[in-house]
């Protein structure tokens, strides 16, 4: 049910964009071309940090550290597999968007994009953001050094987002 409703989101959105543009007598085609072009410089911006973070993620996986932690943990708590698979992504999430996306990519690659873990991961990605990075970027840009309660509020909110993401996915996508 949840996934059925989700399905109509994207076609509807594209329809809304084009329909509204038509109603306002705008040139939708040239707007689209312009917008796509504006996204291209992102390649140069993203590539270095993705490669850097992928190095961390690849090593974490291939050196066996995560597998070893996993097998030790699973002896004690057999249900913890999913949580351990998600842990690197969750830990990276507040610091670096590139790193947590690289982790998400690794989850999709090893467990499959439709695995239960990947679905939880997707829900978490949608309901959290790179808290520490955002705060540092925005406050840094205007020279604000005293953040008041921004950091603890942001991080607690992320924790809540993660818990909600897991709970929702467990209930509806299992």
Which residues within the stretch 61-100 sit at the binding site for another protein (CB under 8 A)? 61-65, 68, 95-97
Radius of gyration of the CA atoms of the chain, in A: 20
Give, as ranges, the residues between 116 and 135 that touch another protein (CB under 8 A). Answer: 118-119, 122-131, 134-135
Label each residue of 59-100 as H, E or C. Answer: HHHHCCHHHHHHHHHHHHCHHHHHHHHHHHHHHHCCCCHHHH
Q: Binding to another protein by residue 12, rule CB under 8 A? A: no
Minimum CB–partner distance for residue 43 and another protein (Å) = 5
d(CA 102, CA 53): 7
Cβ–Cβ under 8 Å, residues 129 and 162: no
d(CA 71, CA 159): 25
| Tokens linked to 20 | 């509204």
Minimum CB–partner distance for residue 36 and another protein (Å) = 4
Contact mark string toward another protein, 142..171, x via CB under 8 A: xxxxxxxxx-xxx-xxx-xx--xx--xx--
How many residues touch another protein under the rule CB under 8 A: the total is 102
Q: Binding to another protein by residue 174, rule CB under 8 A? A: no
Give, as ranges, the residues between 40 and 59 that touch another protein (CB under 8 A). Answer: 40, 42-43, 45-47, 50-52, 54-56, 58-59
Minimum CB–partner distance for residue 83 and another protein (Å) = 17
């Amino acid at each position: 049910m949840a996934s059925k409703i989700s399905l109509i989101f994207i076609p509807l959105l594209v329809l809304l964009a084009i329909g509204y543009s038509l109603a306002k007598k705008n040139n939708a085609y040239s707007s689209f071309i312009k917008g796509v072009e504006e996204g291209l410089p992102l390649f140069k911006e993203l590539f270095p940090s993705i490669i850097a973070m992928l190095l961390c993620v690849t090593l974490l996986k291939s050196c066996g550290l995560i597998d070893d932690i996993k097998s030790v943990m699973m002896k004690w708590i057999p249900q913890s597999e999913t949580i351990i698979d998600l842990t690197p992504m969750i830990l990276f999430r507040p610091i670096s968007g590139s790193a947590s996306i690289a982790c998400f990519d690794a989850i999709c690659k090893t467990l499959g994009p439709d695995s239960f873990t990947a679905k939880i991961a997707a829900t978490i990605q949608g309901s959290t953001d790179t808290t520490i990075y955002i705060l540092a970027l925005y406050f840094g840009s205007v020279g604000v050094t005293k953040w008041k309660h921004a950091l603890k509020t942001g991080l607690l909110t992320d924790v809540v987002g993660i818990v909600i993401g897991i709970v929702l996915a467990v209930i509806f996508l299992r």
